[in-house]
Amino acid sequence: KAPACTLVIFGAAGDLTKRLLMPALYNLASDGLLPDGLKILGIDHNDRTTEQWRDDLSQTMQSFTQDRTSEFHPDSIDPDHWGFIRERLNFTKGDFEAADTYQRLGHAISGSVIFYLAVSARFFGPVVDHLGTAGLLKEDEGAFRRVVIEKPFGTDLASAQALNARILKQADESQVFRIDHFLGKETVQSIMALRFANGMLEPIWNAHHIDHVQITAAETIGVEERGAFYEPTGALRDMVPNHLFQLLSMVAMEPPGSFDAEDIRNEKARVEEAVRPVAPDHAVRGQYAAGEEQGRSVLGYREEDNVSQLSCTETYVALKLSVENPRWSGVPFYLRTGKRMAGRLTEIAVHFKPPSHGLFAGTDLAPNIMRLHIDPEQGLSTQWNAKRPGPEMHLGAVTSSFRFGDFFAETPSVGYETLFYDCMVGDPTLFQRADAIEAGWAAVDPLIQAWADAPVEAYAAGSDGPAGADALLARDGRAWLPLK
C-alpha cells in the first residue's frame, strides 16, 4: 500500500478527473494499493457541494460500464472499491489564482500531500507560485509535498525553460512530478525489460545492425471537442517533444547503471540531448480534410468546432531525426503522428539491415522488422525470412509475435495507475525531469519557428497522411509501414 497522504486535485470538475483520474484511483483501490489514510480534496471554480461532486463522479463511473469506447469500461462498478474512493472525496470551491484559496487549503491539509494540477496549462505557473507563497510546499520531517504537472509543459523551448525556472523557485526538483501518460503505458515500461533483459537483443541494438526506426502514433479520432486547445497547439507540440520523444528515449537510451530513478533519467535525458534539432526540410505537416472514417463521412479539421476556416494548424506531422551518438549515428529515426488516420496504431518498428554475408543477395529478401506494439495491441512481432517448403530454396516473409495478454494476467488500467502509485511512494522514474523536457523542445524548436506562417498539406480523413510524408522516406529509399 502507498503511504497515507492527501491528494489535492486542482480541476476537480474537469474532464481529466472524471475520465482518467477517478478510474485510475478506482483500479488502485481494487488492487488494494491505496492507504486507509488517503484523503482526496477536489478544488474547482464552480459551485457545488461535496455531496454533489460525489454523486457526479459516481454517475460518471457508472456510465463507463455502458461505454465500450472509453479507456475504462468495466462490466460493473464494485460498490466496495468505489465506496472506498467516494467516502474520501471532499470538494471545496476555489479560484486557482486567488491567495485566499491557498490560505483555506492550508488549514484543510496536513502531513503528506500531492497537489495534482489537472488544469489548463496556463494555471501551472500561478498555482505553483501560490502553493509556494502560502508555504504549502514546505516538507516537514517525515512528510512529503509533491506537485504533479500535466502536459502541455510549455509551448516551445523558451516557455518550457521559463516554466521550469518558475516552478523550481518554489519547489525542489525532487518534489516535481511532470506527467507524460505514455510512460504509464505498460508496453512502454516493458521496453527496458525487452532491451536489457534479453542477451540476444542488446548486441545488435545499434547502427551496425539497425537500418532505421519508425515511431508511429496514429489516431482515427479527430480533434473532437478540443478545437480551442488544439488550434494554437497542433500535432507537433501536442505529441512530439513529449509522447514520441518518450518512446524514442526508451528505445534509444544507453543501458542505465541501475534501476535508480536518476540513473534511468540521466540516460533518457542524454539521448534526448543527442537528438539534433530538426531541419524544416526533414519535416512534413498535414491537416485532415473531409473524408471517411469506418464508412461514415467525417468533417475536415477546418469545419470542426472552435477551429478557424483558414486554420493552418497541423493535425499530422512526420519527421526525420538523427541521434548523434556512437550507438545511433547514421540511423534515421522517422516519427509520425496524426489524427483522423486510416488506423489506430502506436508502435515502434525497428528495421534491421540485411545480413552482411551475401548468400541471399539478389533474392527477394524481406527486411527483419521488430515491431513493439503499444496501442491498441500490446505485444511484439518480428518479421523474418524463412525457406518456403519444397525442393527449391525460395524465401518467404513470416512473422512471430506475442501479446502480453497471452502470457500474463492483464490488470485493468487507464494508464495513470502506476503514475499515481509511483508519485505516492515517491518514485520519479516514470516522470519527466526538467532537462529531458527542455531537450525535447530544443529538438523541435527550429520547426516551431519555421512553421509559424507555413502552409499545411491536406490529407483526406481516414487516409495514411499527406503525400509529403511518403516522399520524406522515399527520398531515402524507404517507406512507412502501413497503418492497417
Active site residues: 243
* Site track 134-153 with ligand BG6 (rule: CB under 6 A), x = hit: -----------------x--
- Classify 366 as helix, strand or coil: coil
Residues 6+ apart with CB under 8 A from 247: 182, 188, 215, 217, 348, 374
- Residues that bind ligand BG6 (rule: CB under 6 A) add up to a total of 5
Q: Closer to ligand BG6 at the Cβ: 81 or 339?
A: 339
Q: Closer to ligand BG6 at the Cβ: 240 or 284?
A: 240
Residues 122 and 97: their CA atoms lie apart, in Å, by 11
| Residue 189: CB minimum distance to ligand BG6, A | 14
| Residue 115: CB minimum distance to ligand BG6, A | 20
Residues 122 and 126: their CA atoms lie apart, in Å, by 8
Q: Closer to ligand BG6 at the Cβ: 81 or 371?
A: 371
Question: Does the annotation list 219 as a binding residue?
Answer: yes
Instruction: Give the Å distances, CA to CA, from 318 to 285, 361, 416.
Output: 7, 32, 27
Instruction: Give the Å distances, CA to CA, from 354 to 71, 220, 302, 322.
Output: 39, 33, 44, 21
List the alpha helices (DSSP H) in 17-153.
22-30, 50-64, 79-86, 99-108, 124-133
Question: Does the annotation list 95 as a binding residue?
Answer: yes
| Residue 337: CB minimum distance to ligand BG6, A | 9
Residue with cell 488506423: 343
Q: Binders of ligand BG6 among 86-115, rule CB under 6 A?
A: none
Q: Closer to ligand BG6 at the Cβ: 238 or 445?
A: 238
Q: Closer to ligand BG6 at the Cβ: 219 or 272?
A: 219
Residues 145 and 100: their CA atoms lie apart, in Å, by 20
Q: Report how far Cα 384 is from the mean position of its chain's Cα atoms.
A: 30
Question: Does the annotation list 185 as a binding residue?
Answer: yes
| Residue 8: CB minimum distance to ligand BG6, A | 22
Query: Which residue's C-beta sits nearest to ligand BG6?
Result: 238
Positive or negative: CA dihedral 259, 262, 267, 272: positive
| Residue 53: CB minimum distance to ligand BG6, A | 25
How crowded is residue 264: how many other Cβ atoms within 10 Å of its Cβ?
Answer: 21
Q: Closer to ligand BG6 at the Cβ: 216 or 383?
A: 216
Cell numbers at 39, concatenated: 484523503
Question: Does the annotation list 238 as a binding residue?
Answer: yes
| Residue 90: CB minimum distance to ligand BG6, A | 29
β-pairing, 283-289 vs 379-387, is: unpaired
Q: Residue 375 in contact with residue 345, Cβ under 8 Å?
A: yes
Q: Residue 400 in contact with residue 373, Cβ under 8 Å?
A: no
**Longest alpha-carbon distance in the chain:** 84
Residues 123 and 130: their CA atoms lie apart, in Å, by 10
Cell numbers at 63, concatenated: 456510465
| Residue 351: CB minimum distance to ligand BG6, A | 23
| Residue 339: CB minimum distance to ligand BG6, A | 7
Cell numbers at 3, concatenated: 503511504
Contact between 304 and ligand BG6 (CB under 6 A)?
no
Cell numbers at 480, concatenated: 512507412
Q: Closer to ligand BG6 at the Cβ: 346 or 463?
A: 346
Q: Residue 184 in contact with residue 416, Cβ under 8 Å?
A: yes
**Selected binder of ligand BG6 within 92, 346, 368, 418 (CB under 6 A):** 346
Q: Residue 124 in contact with residue 117, Cβ under 8 Å?
A: yes
Residues 251 and 189: their CA atoms lie apart, in Å, by 10
* Site track 204-243 with ligand BG6 (rule: CB under 6 A), x = hit: ---------------x------------------x-----
Residues 6+ apart with CB under 8 A from 446: 277, 278, 279, 280
How crowded is residue 216: how many other Cβ atoms within 10 Å of its Cβ?
Answer: 25
Cell numbers at 10, concatenated: 486542482
Q: Binders of ligand BG6 among 365-424, rule CB under 6 A?
A: 375
Q: Closer to ligand BG6 at the Cβ: 5 or 341?
A: 341
- Residue numbers belonging to the annotated binding site for substrate: 181, 185, 219, 238, 339
- Residue numbers belonging to the annotated binding site for NADP(+): 95-96, 151
Binding positions for ligand BG6, rule: CB under 6 A: 151, 219, 238, 346, 375
